[in-house]
Structures are given as C-alpha cells and as structure tokens.
Amino acid sequence: MKLPPGGGLERKLATAINDLSLALAASQEAASIDRMTGVSNRQSLLGGLFTEVERASRYGRPFSVAFVDIDHFKAVNDTYGHGVGDVVLKGVAQTIKANLRSTDTIGRYGGEEFMLLLSETDVEDAASLAEKLRQLIVFQVEGNPKLTVTVSIGIAGGFGQPLRVDSLVRDADAAMYSAKALGRNQTYIFAEPDEDARVPRAPISAAGRASAIELGRFAREAATAALTSVVAPLAQYQGRPSALIATIVSAMGQQLALPDVEIDRLRVAALLHDVGKVAVPLEILDKPTSLTSAEWQSVVQHPRIGQVILEQATTLRDAVP
C-alpha cells in the first residue's frame, strides 16, 4: 500500500491500515498452512477440494485427486527417530510442491499422507504427472545413507456433474492402498481393468472391490470396538463422555456435508481421543491440587502414548506386501 507524503494524521492512519492488512494476511496464511511441512493444512485442503469439485461439476471440466503416502513411514520413525521422520515429511511435501503446476494444490491430509488437487486434469494425465513426481521423490536423508524414501500414489477423477467429493476421496484412498498392495513405490489409478492403461491395475471387479471395502470397514469398526472395550473399564481412561462426543461430531460432519470417510475418522477420533490416559497414574489424574513439573510431564505425554497404542492396534496395515 502506497503511503501519503508527510507525517500527519492521514499518513499515520495509512500506516496503521497497512500494518493491519499485513497482519491479517499473515494470520490467514498461518491458519491455512501445515507448520510441519509448509503445505496446505487439512482444513484448507478440504475447502479447496469442495471448491474444485463444484467448479468442475458446474462447467463440465475434468478434475482428479491423488493421494500420496510415504512408504514404511512408521518404520522410519521407529528406526531413525521422529526427527528424521519430520525431515522426510517436509522433504516429500516440498519436493512435490516445487514440481507441481501453478494450478495444482498439495496439502497434508493426515499423518504421512498428502492429497493433490489436480484441476483440468483427467486421470491419465494425472497418472503421468504423479509418475514424474514419484520418481523425483526417491531421495535419501543426509546422515542416513541406508534410508531411502519412496511413495505410493493413488488417483481418482472424472468429468463434470458425476464428480462427488466423498467418492473421489474414497476412490483415491483405495487406489493408494492398491499401489501399496502391488509392491509400493508406484502409481495406481482407480478404474476398471484396462489393458491399454499406462499404469498397471489389479484385476478386481467392482463387486469384489465393494465387498473388500465393506469387509475392511467392518474389521476397522470391530477393532475400534475391541480397543474401546479394553480401555473403557480402566480407572485412568475416564473416557465416558467419548461416545457422546462421537455422536456430536458425527452429526456436525453430516451438517457440514463432509465425506463419509471424514465423518468416520472424526467418530473414531472422538471415541479414542483420550486413550493415552491409561498410562498416566490415577493419583495424578485425580490430584485436586496443582501438578508438579514431573507430574505435568507425565500428563502431557498422553497424546503420544495414545498414538503408540493406536499404531500397535493397527499394525495390519504394515502387513500389506
């Protein structure tokens, strides 16, 4: 903003407005960026997804979504430490960001998973772009010569009015898991078998895929219920309000027209959000007075403890060949 000459009231007012504009811009950017990786955060990413789907549907244009998942990321954290894991996350995110087209968007969907929004792009062109990105992402971390980073990518897309946010998210996520099942470090398009496709596709029928997804959903729900039943009776858990919170966030997700997969993630997160408290001594949780530094340190560890519990409870994912 160009400031008026002189040092009077007008200049002071213009300076204040300019400072406010800069502060608002910085605040908006901070609210939409994932601090760890420097790309769009989940909230900003999903907002962009809804916008792109609405635009493509209105004007009958192509649009594709790609899920990018870092291969064996849990093993990276377990073997080399979370510091190296953070370097890998940022390295993958920034490599993709630096090589995307100006019309595309990358955001951190969750954990080690990123989503790409590819406007004006059909699935075949999205596959070509994804393959170029995948080959660029194969890199090593300085000081860890034995660590090689690769990614698996799943793609879904379509044209115009048939496009739906929940279907795109579900299909791209399923395609990414198919890429892992085929050996990792490759790209997979969610589509029916096609001998002329550029990217190999597993020979699975639509009915077979639907049955597999339904069985997987049932297994996930059973695992969640089993874990909840184990920790709920423990005195430290104190997660009795979790079922109510799960009901509330599910209703909120439906009101916001979030994809079914998003609502399910919210529900499970609400049910298990305090599971890490099982490792915090009961006398600390129930202490009526102020906590000591050591006691507070024990309490603040519970989110990380919960993460470890859930990682151990979901190791079947690592069994995918």
Answer yes or no: are the C-beta atoms of 97 and 108 closer than 8 Å: no
Residue 198 CA to residue 96 CA, distance in Å, equals 21
Residue 29 known to be catalytic: no
**Which is the catalytic residue, given 10, 54, 112, 124?**
112
Q: Rounded to whole angstroms, what are the CA distances from 36 to 61, 257, 266, 310?
A: 33, 28, 22, 22
State the amino acid at position 37 in one-letter form.
Answer: T
Cβ atoms < 10 Å from Cβ of 65:
29
DSSP states along 100-135: S-TT-EEEEEETTEEEEEEET--HHHHHHHHHHHHH
**Which residue's structure tokens are 């900003």?**
44
Cross-strand partners of 273? none
**Residue 93: which residues within 8 A CB-CB, separation 6 or more?**
34, 37, 38, 39, 106, 108, 114
Residue 125: Cβ within 10 Å count: 15
d(CA 216, CA 150): 25
Contacts of 239 (CB under 8 A, 6+ apart): 231, 232, 271, 272, 273, 274, 275, 277
Radius of gyration of the chain measured on its C-alpha atoms: 23
Q: Annotated catalytic sites, by residue? A: 112
